[in-house]
Amino acid sequence: MARIQRSSFRKQWHQAVRRALNVMPVRWRFALYRRMIDCDPAPPGHLQLKIADTREELTACFQLLHDAYVASGFMKPHPSGLRVTPYHALPTTTTLCAKIDGRVVGTMSMIREGVFGFPLQAAFDLNEVRAKEGQIAEISALAVHPDYRKTGGAILFPLMKFMYEYCTRYFDVRHLVIAVNPDKIELYESLLFFQRLRGNVVDKYDFANGAPAVGATLDLAQAPALFERVYGSRSARKNLFKYFVQTRLPHIQLPQRRYHTTNDPVMTPELLDHFFNRMTQGFAELDERKRLLLRSIYGLPDYDPVLPGRQPQAIGHHPLRRHQRYSLRCPAQLVLGGVALPLTVIEVSAGGFQAECKVPLPLDAQGTAVVELGDQERSTLQVRIMRNGGRSSVYGGFYGFKLLGADEPWRRCVAALEQGQTAADLMRPVAVAVADVAAAPAPAPAASPASAPATPRGVGPLAAVG
C-alpha cells in the first residue's frame, strides 16, 4: 500500500511540475533543462559500454526494454518477458548495452535504414530527411533500469555518448530520427537540438501500443557546432560539446574491425532461432515480403532451417535482389593514364566492385585500383570500368568495375564477407579460392527491383557474383 501511495504521489508531483513548466516561455524552459545536465566525464570504472552480442546480453536488454515499455503503457506484457521487434533481426540494427559490475542496466538500439525501413516511417514523413545526403538511423528501444533513473543521467548520458560516437565514427550515419512521447520531446530539442519532423503529434503510434508520439531529427554533421555554441564555455559536467565531441571514455568498448565495414551484425542462426522462433513468434508473424527479404540477407545454409519458410501462395514470387549482412566504405584510388582519382568502394565481389567517384569516368577504360580494405589490408587490382550506375550523390557518380585479376588480400576479404555470419567472424582467418576470377562479371550498380526497397545511399551490399 505504501509503495502504491508513493508511486501516486510521484506521479502527481511530476504532473504538477510539468504544468508549471508549460506556462514558462520555451526559451526559459530550454535554459532550465540545460542547467539540469550532469554528464560525468570520468564515470566509475565499473561501468562498461559495449555492443550487446551474446544471448545473455541481448536477453537482458530485451527484458529491460520489455519492463520499461510495459510500465509506460507502450506495450502489453509478453509471455516471454521480452520486447523483440523484427528490426532486431536485421544486420543493420545495433543494440548497445550499459553494464555495471556485469549487470545490464541500460540499453539502446540504432536502426539504420535496411530492408524493413524504419519503425517510425509508418507514422512520420521522412522525405525531407531522405532528400539530404547521408545515411539515416532511428534511435529506438531506449531503457534504463529503475535503480539508475534517478542518478542524474549516470547511465543515460554514457549510453548517448556511445551512440553518438558509434554513429559518427563507425556506423556511417549522418541523420538521427526519433519517435518519442510528447512529454519528452522538449528534452531532446533543448539538450540535443533535435528538430521536429513536419506534421502534428501522432495520437496513436502503433509501434508504441497506440501511445501518442512526436517525430524529430538531428543532423550529426551540424551537431558539433551547435553543441559548441551553447555548451562550449560551460563547466565539465554541463558541457555536452566536450562530452560528446572531445571526450574519450575508456568505458566504451568500440568494435574491432579488420575491414572497412560499417555495421556489426551479431545474429547467428542460434540467436535468431532463440529470440524469433522459441522465445517469441516474431518470424511466424512476418508477412510474406519480409520473410523473403530476410532470406535475401541470410543466404548461408546454416541460416536456412531457422528462417521463416515461404507461404505456399508465394511460389513464383518475383525474386528479390540479394542483400548482404555487411556494408562497406573503403577508400580507394584509381590510376588512369597516369592520373590518380579518388574512389570510395561500397560493394565488392570475387569479380568486381562498385564505387563512387566525383570525377566522370570513361567506360571500358582500364586502370589500376588500390583499395584500402582495412587499416592493414590493401589490395592492388587491374580493372576495367564497365558500367555507369546512372545516379549520383554528394560522393559523385556510381560505377561498376570488373577485375582483370584479383590478389590475395582481395580474395581474403571477399571470402570473409561471404562466409562470415557475424562481425566477429571477419577477424578470423578464412579459406580462399585461388582460381583465376578475371572472367567473373562485375557487380551491377545498385538498383533494387520493385519488390525490394532502395539500397541506402552511401552503402552497397555485397554483390552475388558467379
**How far is the C-alpha of 260 from the C-alpha of 374, rounded, in Å?**
5
Task: Give the mean model confidence (pLDDT) for residues 163-169.
Answer: 96
Q: Is the pLDDT of residue 463 over 60?
A: no
Least confident stretch, 36-45, 105-114, 307-316, 396-405: 307-316
370: which strand partners? 333, 380
Q: Which residue has the cell 524493413?
A: 116
pLDDT of residue 430: 74
Query: How confident is the model at residue 366, as a pLDDT?
Result: 96
Percent of the chain past pLDDT 70, that is, above it, reads 83
CA angle 418/256/148 to nearest 5° reads: 120
Question: What's the rounded Cα separation, in Å, for the pair 117 and 100?
Answer: 33
CA distance 138 to 174: 11
Flag whether pLDDT at 48 surpasses 50. Answer: yes
Average pLDDT over residues 111-138: 93
Across residues 234-248, what is the average pLDDT?
96
Q: Over 80: is that where the pLDDT of 452 sits?
A: no
pLDDT band at residue 392, thresholds of 50, 70 and 90?
A: low
pTM of the predicted structure, to 2 decimals: 0.86
State the pLDDT confidence band at 465, using cuts at 50, 70 and 90: very low
Strand locations in 145-289 (E)? 175-180, 195-196, 202-205, 211-219
Matching residue, cell 536485421: 90
Residue 210: pLDDT band (50, 70, 90) is: confident
Instruction: Retrieve residue 33's grid coordinates.
Output: 533543462
Pairing of strands 195-196, 211-219: antiparallel
- For the cut 50, the answer to whether the pLDDT of residue 167 exceeds it is yes
Any idea of the CA torsion for 296, 299, 303, 306, to the nearest 10 degrees?
A: 30
Q: How many CB atoms lie within 10 A of CB 94?
A: 27
Mean pLDDT of the chain: 86
Q: What percent of the chain has pLDDT over 90?
A: 71
- pLDDT above 60 (res 441): no
* pLDDT score of 466: 23
Report the distance separating Cα 443 and Cα 320, nearest Å.
16
The H or E element that residue 97 is part of is strand 93-100
Cα–Cα distances (Å) from 185 to 127, 141, 157, 163, 206, in that order, read 21, 16, 16, 18, 18
At 43, list the grid cell.
564515470
Span 391-399, mean pLDDT?
A: 67
Instruction: Judge contact between 111 and 92, C-beta under 8 A.
Output: yes
Mean pLDDT of 358-381: 95
Length of the chain counted residue by residue: 466
Question: For residue 444, is pLDDT > 50?
Answer: no
pLDDT of residue 332: 98
**Residue 396 clears pLDDT 70, i.e. is over it:** no
Q: How many angstroms separate the CA atoms of 369 and 412, rounded?
A: 17
Q: Which residue has the higher pLDDT, 450 or 88?
A: 88
User: In the prediction, which pLDDT does 320 show?
Assistant: 46
Q: What is the average per-residue pLDDT within 338-362?
A: 94
Does residue 67 surpass a pLDDT of 70? Answer: yes
Q: What is the pLDDT of residue 258?
A: 96
Q: State the burial class of residue 333 (Cβ atoms within 10 Å of its Cβ: 0-12, 13-18, 19+).
A: middle
Name the band, by pLDDT with cuts 50, 70 and 90, for residue 198.
Answer: confident
What local confidence, expressed as pLDDT, does residue 152 receive?
Answer: 73
Shortest CA distance to 458 belongs to which of 368, 324, 330, 365?
Answer: 330
Q: Is the pLDDT of residue 130 over 70?
A: yes
Mean pLDDT along residues 379-406:
83
CA distances, 387 to each of 345, 353, 443 (Å): 14, 11, 9
Mean pLDDT of 78-83: 98
> Counting Cβ atoms within 10 Å, is residue 176 exposed (0-12), middle (13-18) or buried (19+)?
buried
Distances (CA, A) of 245 to 224, 346, 447: 7, 27, 36
Q: Is the pLDDT of residue 44 over 60?
A: yes
Which residues in 250-280 are b (16+ Cβ under 10 Å) and which e? Answer: ebbeebeebbbbbbbbbbbbebbbbbbbebb
Average pLDDT over residues 341-355: 94
